[in-house]
Structure 1
Amino acid sequence: MMERRARPLLAAVMLGMILLGASACSFEADADASSAGAGSWTVLTYSIADTDLEPYMMVDVDEMGQVGSSENLSIVALVDRAADYSSDPVLGLDDWAGGKLLEINEGSATELEDLGDVNTGDPAVLADFITRGIEEYPADNYALIISDHGASWPGVGGDESSDYDSLSLAEIDTALASGLDVAGVDKLDLLGFDACLMATYEVASTLAPRADLLLASQELEPGHGWDYTALDTASNPVNGATLGSALLAGFAAQATDEGNESEITLSLVDLARMPAVDDALATFSGALIDRGAAVAPVVGVSLAGTLGFGRSPDPFEDTHMTDLGILAGEIGVEALDVSDAADDLVRSINDAVLDKVDGLSTLGATGLSIYFPPQEEYFSADYLSLDPTGGWSDFLSSYYGAGAGIPATDQARFTAAEGEVSFADDGLYISAPFASAENLAEASIRYGLVEADGSITFLGQEEATFSTDGTGLAEGYFDLTTMTISDDEDTVTAYLQLDTDEGAGVTTISVPMAYYAPDDVDGETYQDVLLTITTDAETQDVLTETYYAFNADLGTYGELTADPAGIIVPEVLNVLADGAEEWLATSDYGLYADLPYLQYDFVRLAPGTELYIELGVIDYGGNTSTVSATVTVP
Structure 2
Amino acid sequence: MMKMREYKLVAFFVLMLLCCSGSTYGLTFDKTVKTGLGEKAEWTVMVYMDGDNNLESNAIDDFFEMSDVGSTEKVNIVVQFDRIGGYDSRYGDWVTTKRYYIIQGMTPDGDNAVEDIGEANMGDPQTVIDFVNWGMSNYPADHYCLIFWDHGSGWKTPQSHGRKYVCEDETDGDELETYEFGDALRVITNNGVNKLDLTGFDACLMGMMEIAYEIKDYTHYMTASEDTEPVAGWDYYNTLWDLVNNSSEITGRELGELFVSYYSGYHITLSTLDLNQVEYLTTALDNLVISIQLKKYRDEIQDAIDNVKAYTSDSADLYNFIELIQANIHDTNVDDKAQMVLNEINNVVASEKHDIYNENSHGIAIYLPYYNYDQNYDSLRFTQGSQWDDFLRWWFYGNPGSNPPTKPVISGVKEGSVGTKYSYSFFSTDPDNDDLYYYILWGDYSDEEQIGPVVSGETIERSHTWETDGGYIIKAKAVDVHGAMSEWSYFRVSMPREKIVNQLLINKFIGLLKQMFPSFF
Q: Where do residues 17-36 of structure 1 align in structure 2 (5 Å cutoff)?
A: none
Which residue number corresponds to residue 410 of structure 2? none
Match of residue 229, structure 2, among 221, 231, 234: 221
Which residue number corresponds to residue 219 of structure 2? 211
Match of residue 139, structure 2, among 131, 137, 140: 137
Match of residue 396, structure 1, among 377, 392, 395: 392
Is the 8 Å Cα contact of residues 283 and 341 (structure 1) preserved in structure 2? yes
Which deviates more, 264-273 or 275-284?
275-284
Which residue number corresponds to residue 76 of structure 2? 74
CA-CA distance at 1:185 after TM superposition: 6.2
Q: What's the secondary structure of 2:190's corresponding residue? A: helix
Counterpart-to-counterpart distance in 1, 2:119 and 2:364: 35
Once the two structures are superposed, residues 226-271 of structure 1 have per-residue CA deviations (whole angstroms, 9 ceiling, x without a partner) of: 011111222122111221111112212xx2xxxx2xx100001111
Q: Where do residues 75-224 of structure 1 align in structure 2 (5 Å cutoff)?
A: 75-89=77-91, 94-108=92-106, 110-152=112-154, 154-163=164-173, 165-181=174-190, 186-224=194-232
Which residue number corresponds to residue 377 of structure 2? 383
RMSD: 1.8
Is the 8 Å Cα contact of residues 208 and 366 (structure 2) preserved in structure 1? yes
Which residue number corresponds to residue 251 of structure 2? 239
CA-CA distance at 1:386 after TM superposition: 1.1
Kindly, what percent of the aligned residue pairs are identical? 33
Structure 1 residue 265 and structure 2 residue 265: aligned?
no
Counterpart-to-counterpart distance in 2, 1:136 and 1:181: 18
Which residue number corresponds to residue 346 of structure 1? 342
Counterpart-to-counterpart distance in 1, 2:382 and 2:259: 29
Total equivalences in the alignment: 342
Q: Where do residues 226-375 of structure 1 align in structure 2 (5 Å cutoff)?
A: 226-229=234-237, 230-235=239-244, 236=246, 237=248, 238-252=250-264, 255=265, 260=266, 263-289=267-293, 291=294, 293-310=295-312, 318=313, 320-337=314-331, 338-375=334-371
Counterpart-to-counterpart distance in 2, 1:328 and 1:117: 46
Is the 8 Å Cα contact of residues 222 and 275 (structure 2) preserved in structure 1? yes
Q: Max radius of gyration: which structure?
A: 2
Equivalent AA in structure 2 for residue 363 of structure 1: E
Which residue number corresponds to residue 64 of structure 2? 62
Is the 8 Å Cα contact of residues 40 and 234 (structure 1) preserved in structure 2? no
Equivalent AA in structure 2 for residue 370 of structure 1: I
Is the 8 Å Cα contact of residues 300 and 325 (structure 2) preserved in structure 1? yes
Counterpart-to-counterpart distance in 2, 1:340 and 1:49: 47
Distance 1:362 1:218, change over 3 A: same
Distance 1:108 1:331, change over 3 A: same
Equivalent AA in structure 2 for residue 360 of structure 1: I
Counterpart-to-counterpart distance in 1, 2:399 and 2:106: 59
CA-CA distance at 1:113 after TM superposition: 1.4
Which residue number corresponds to residue 444 of structure 1? none
Equivalent AA in structure 2 for residue 396 of structure 1: L
Once the two structures are superposed, residues 294-319 of structure 1 have per-residue CA deviations (whole angstroms, 9 ceiling, x without a partner) of: 21211111111111113xxxxxxx4x
Q: What's the secondary structure of 1:220's corresponding residue? A: coil
Q: Where do residues 340-489 of structure 1 align in structure 2 (5 Å cutoff)?
A: 340-376=336-372, 379-389=373-383, 390-402=386-398
Counterpart-to-counterpart distance in 1, 2:186 and 2:381: 15
Structure 1 or 2: larger helix share?
2
CA-CA distance at 1:364 after TM superposition: 2.5
Which has the higher relative contact order, 1 or 2, with Cα contacts under 8 A spaced 6 or more apart?
1
Which residues of structure 2 form unaligned runs of 5+?
1-40, 155-162, 403-521
Which residues of structure 1 form unaligned runs of 5+?
1-38, 311-317, 407-634
Counterpart-to-counterpart distance in 1, 2:260 and 2:93: 30
Is the 8 Å Cα contact of residues 72 and 234 (structure 1) preserved in structure 2? no
Is the 8 Å Cα contact of residues 317 and 360 (structure 2) preserved in structure 1? no
Is the 8 Å Cα contact of residues 197 and 217 (structure 1) preserved in structure 2? yes
TM-score w.r.t. the length of structure 1 is 0.52
Counterpart-to-counterpart distance in 2, 1:404 and 1:59: 54
Counterpart-to-counterpart distance in 1, 2:55 and 2:104: 24
Counterpart-to-counterpart distance in 2, 1:304 and 1:103: 49
CA-CA distance at 1:288 after TM superposition: 2.2
Once the two structures are superposed, residues 331-386 of structure 1 have per-residue CA deviations (whole angstroms, 9 ceiling, x without a partner) of: 0111133221111111100111011101111013111111111232xx32110111
Equivalent AA in structure 1 for residue 393 of structure 2: S
Structure 1 or 2: larger strand share?
1
CA-CA distance at 1:181 after TM superposition: 2.5
Counterpart-to-counterpart distance in 2, 1:185 and 1:400: 39
Counterpart-to-counterpart distance in 2, 1:363 and 1:403: 34
Distance 1:399 1:88, change over 3 A: same
Q: What's the secondary structure of 2:284's corresponding residue? A: helix
Equivalent AA in structure 1 for residue 262 of structure 2: G
